[in-house]
Structure formats: structure tokens, C-alpha cells
């Protein structure tokens, strides 16, 4: 069985108001008054076609609504010009911004991003992974819902994999993660610049890497403190507010105990 050429796979296009028929490369060639080989060279941007002939072919293809079949072209080139984005961030706090950034970056190269949400389910993740590989994506972006390291998916995969927000456990993989340590240091420096001297650090759950990294950044700030910084777990910093459903820090939370300096 021979490998299909992208122009052999038809694209349906309206010919008149009553019926449809597939437009093929032969239709483009007849409309432009050139050979099928010339159309193929023009559509693939080959150098053997004169500029005016190429333009005539492109105009004919546009008028007929002809588009080369992406799947068949992928069989020829080995590239589908698609990238899979596999996320576990069902809320979309981090997955959607990464998706928008990827689409913007790939858009210039006319590449598409396919989004799959595993919702934190390892079985669903494997299903999406098989589906994306079955569609012959050119690469994968794996987005986590926290900065905690996650198991690697890169082993024995035929395409490159990049991890965003949640790093891979394998140091050989490529991971892009936020610098929470420096972020916390910058936040403290900003407060000191504003003249604040009684600074509280309200932390998140200690089993989250981001919470631990931010606490490290606060403690590791290089300048001497005018007054101590008191860490306060977020779970201890809520109390019933003046109205139902409201919450406010207790007066004793994030403040020095009696006898503390400050």
C-alpha cells in the first residue's frame, strides 16, 4: 500500500447551493491552468515554480476553498504541527494561562494546541496520553496543579516533553517552575521599602512545596530584620467574622506573644 499524498485526500467544499463535491488538486490545476505537479510544488513552497505561477495557484486554491489535508501531509513530513497540553489543573488557574501562552507562541508557526484535562486521575492521564500520541502530536506540555514534583512521563515516548509549574521527578527532564523562594523575598523587601516593620507570613499547608519554598524565602532574606517575622499557618488565621461566611484573622494571630520583641 503506497503512502497517501496530502492532495489525494479531498476537502468538501460548496460548489453550488444544492450539492457538494470534493475539491481535489486536479480542480486547482484546471482552475489555474497548470499541471498537478506544478500545483503540488506551489502549495509546498518549492523553488522550482515562478512567482507569478505560484500566485496564480494560490489564488485558485483560495477561490475553490481547497486546503491540503493535515493528516495526510503529516504522513509525508513526519510532523502534524500539533502539540498536546496535558493538565491536571481542572480549575484552570495554571493550565489555562499556559495554554494561552502556548497558543500565542505556536500561532506564528501555524501550530495548534490540543488540551486534555486529567483532573488529577492517573488512569485518565494515561488515556489522554495515548490519545495524543495516537494523533501524532509533535510534542507534549504537562501542566501540574501545584509545584510538587510529579512522576515523569518522558520515558520511552517518541516526542519531547516539557513540564510546566509541576516539575518532573526526573532531573533529566525539562521543567519550568516558578521561583517561590525569590518571590517571597521580593514580597518582604517590598513591604520593608514601604516602611512596614511588623510583617506576618501567612503560610499554606506544609505538604505543598510552594508553601515551604515561600517560607524559606522569607527566612532567607538577607537583610537584618527591624522586628521578627512571625510565621502563621493559614489554618490558624481564620475566625468567624461579623457576618455569616466571612472570615478575618484573630487579633492574637500573626502577632508577637507577650514578652516578644517588636
Res 13: pLDDT: 44
- The whole-number pLDDT of residue 169 equals 93
Tens digits of residue pLDDT in 41-57: 888 777 788 888 889 98
79-176, CATH topology level: Rossmann fold (3.40.50)
Q: Could you tell me the CATH superfamily of domain 180-248?
A: Response regulator (3.40.50.2300)
Q: Kindly give the parts of the chain with pLDDT less than 70.
A: 1-21, 68-78, 109, 221-262
Per residue in 9-32, is it b (16+ CB within 10 Å) or e — as a string? beeeeeeeeeeeeebbbebbbebb
Whether this prediction's pTM lies above 0.85 is answered by: no
pLDDT per residue as tens digits for the range 152-197: 998 888 999 999 999 999 999 999 999 999 999 899 889 888 988 7
The confidence score (pLDDT) of residue 50 equals 87
**Quick one: pLDDT at residue 73?**
65
175 burial via Cβ count (<10 Å: 0-12, 13-18, 19+): buried
Homologous superfamily of 6-76: lambda repressor-like DNA-binding domains (1.10.260.40)
pLDDT at 76: 62
Please report, for the chain, the start and end positions of each structural domain, with discontinuous segments joined by +. 6-76, 79-176, 180-248
Amino acid at each position: 500500500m503506497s503512502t497517501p499524498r496530502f492532495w489525494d485526500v479531498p476537502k468538501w467544499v460548496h460548489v453550488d447551493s444544492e450539492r457538494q463535491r470534493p475539491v481535489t488538486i486536479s480542480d486547482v490545476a484546471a482552475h489555474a491552468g497548470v499541471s498537478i505537479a506544478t500545483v503540488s510544488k506551489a502549495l509546498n513552497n518549492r523553488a522550482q515554480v515562478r512567482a507569478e505561477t505560484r500566485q496564480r495557484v494560490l489564488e485558485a486554491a483560495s477561490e475553490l476553498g481547497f486546503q491540503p489535508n493535515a493528516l495526510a501531509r503529516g504522513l509525508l513530513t513526519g510532523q502534524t504541527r500539533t502539540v498536546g497540553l496535558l493538565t491536571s489543573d481542572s480549575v484552570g488557574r495554571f493550565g489555562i494561562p499556559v495554554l494561552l501562552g502556548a497558543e500565542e507562541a505556536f500561532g506564528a508557526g501555524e501550530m495548534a494546541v490540543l488540551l486534555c484535562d486529567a483532573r488529577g486521575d492517573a488512569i485518565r492521564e494515561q488515556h489522554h496520553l495515548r490519545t495524543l500520541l495516537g494523533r501524532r502530536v509533535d510534542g507534549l506540555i504537562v501542566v501540574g496543579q501545584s509545584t510538587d514534583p510529579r512522576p515523569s512521563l518522558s520515558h520511552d515516548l517518541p516526542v519531547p516533553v516539557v513540564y510546566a509549574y509541576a516539575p518532573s521527578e526526573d532531573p533529566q527532564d525539562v521543567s519550568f517552575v516558578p521561583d517561590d523562594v525569590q518571590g517571597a523575598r521580593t514580597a518582604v523587601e517590598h513591604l520593608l521599602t514601604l516602611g512596614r516593620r511588623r510583617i506576618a507570613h501567612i503560610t499554606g499547608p506544609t505538604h505543598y512545596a510552594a508553601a515551604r519554598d515561600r517560607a524559606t524565602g522569607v527566612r532567607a532574606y538577607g537583610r537584618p530584620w527591624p522586628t521578627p517575622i512571625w510565621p502563621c499557618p493559614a489554618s490558624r488565621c481564620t475566625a468567624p467574622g461579623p457576618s455569616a461566611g466571612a472570615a478575618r484573622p484573630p487579633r492574637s494571630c500573626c502577632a508577637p506573644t507577650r514578652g516578644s520583641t517588636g
